[in-house]
A and B are shown apart, each in its own frame.
Chain A
């Protein structure tokens, strides 16, 4: 079975600093990978996804992630944090053979300090 590990349940950065949220997955075949963001009392919003092709994917709000097969990682980065980035971030992998079933990591809460 596939799984997702997000290292660090809480990450704090200063406004303007680099944001790095870590995600590792386990899969015997190339998966589809996703990052979602959740603001308080809201649903999930897709930040970016990797399905096939280019391993560096760019998403909304200046976020990007790189699929590294050798490291089974899909870390999320943003060069300069903004106060509005404070939210919870979830990494997810699709359960291959089952199209829309997503396996989520436990989430990382990002705090941004002025």
Chain B
């Protein structure tokens, strides 16, 4: 069974630009969650989508948004990038019952 895939793996953007990250969950998984990992703040929950609906949201500004498609693939978008948005963005998929999430390798975003 293929694992969670994230594209791209590395990204360099300039302040003020926007970026879209993609996540393909494990086949059969209907829930996709996104996390931001930084040295200063650690691992923080961004949002969760289940069957195309946002089910949970973390404490991030509105510049961070996401969506989920009918095939469970998910995208997250960050608009008006700031230097502080530089981070590893991790996607996780699950059946949506809270018992186990499988993480992708992450997308390393660098904002200059």
B-contacting residues of A (Cβ < 8 Å)?
32, 36, 41-46, 49, 51, 90, 92, 94-95, 98-107
Contacts and interface: CB of A to CB of B under 8 A. Distances in A.
A45 to B, nearest CB: 7
B100 A101 contact: no
A105 B37 CA distance: 12
Contact of B45 (A90, A102, A105): A102
A106 B104 contact: no
Contacts of B53: none
B42 A107 contact: yes
A101 B99 contact: no
25 contacts: A43-B105, A44-B103, A46-B100, A49-B100, A98-B48, A99-B31, A99-B55, A99-B56, A99-B98, A100-B33, A100-B48, A100-B50, A100-B55, A100-B92, A100-B96, A100-B98, A100-B101, A101-B48, A101-B58, A102-B35, A102-B45, A103-B45, A104-B44, A105-B42, A107-B42
A106 B40 CA distance: 9
Nearest to A42: B105
A46 B56 CA distance: 21
B94 interface: yes
Contacts of B103: 36, 43-45
A104 B36 CA distance: 11
B64 interface: no
A100 to B, nearest CB: 5
B106 interface: yes
A43 B102 CA distance: 9
Most buried by B among A49, A99, A104: A99
B84 to A, nearest CB: 18
A105 B31 CA distance: 22
Given A41-B105, A42-B106, 15 more contacts: A43-B103, A49-B100, A95-B56, A98-B48, A98-B55, A99-B31, A99-B50, A99-B55, A99-B97, A100-B94, A100-B98, A100-B101, A104-B35, A104-B44, A107-B42
B105 A46 contact: no
A96 to B, nearest CB: 9
